[in-house]
Amino acid sequence: MKLRIQSINFDATTALESYINKKMLKLEKIFDEIINVEVYLKVVKPETATNKEAEIKVSIPSVDFFASKTCDSFEEAIDLTLDALEKQIRKFKEKVTKK
């Protein structure tokens, strides 16, 4: 699995990057055919309380999954985005195994 983290309009800390790496390993345990994961982090303008946005795109053979959440912190946004992606991947996995 190839992981790419891109922070837009700010520099991500190494702690945040290691947090993302750890969370992405959880996705690989759910579905082992993941080819590529792209994480986009950005601070949304105007400056409000919930201005941290995380977008994650997961690529597997023949299908791409995408989720995006905006929260108070990047960690919370990543957790909620991963929950949405897990649901999508599990649903896809069930559909494929029923065939």
- Total number of domains constituting the chain: 1
3-state DSSP call for residue 3? Answer: strand
CATH number at residue 43: 3.30.160.100
Model confidence, pTM: 0.89
Q: Which domain holds residue 88?
A: 2-98
Q: What is the pLDDT of residue 58?
A: 95
Q: Does the pLDDT value for residue 49 go beyond 80?
A: no
pLDDT, tens digit (0-9, with 9 covering 90-100), for 50-76: 889 999 999 998 899 999 999 999 999
Burial of 68: CB neighbours in 10 Å, binned 0-12, 13-18, 19+: middle
DSSP state at residue 9 = S
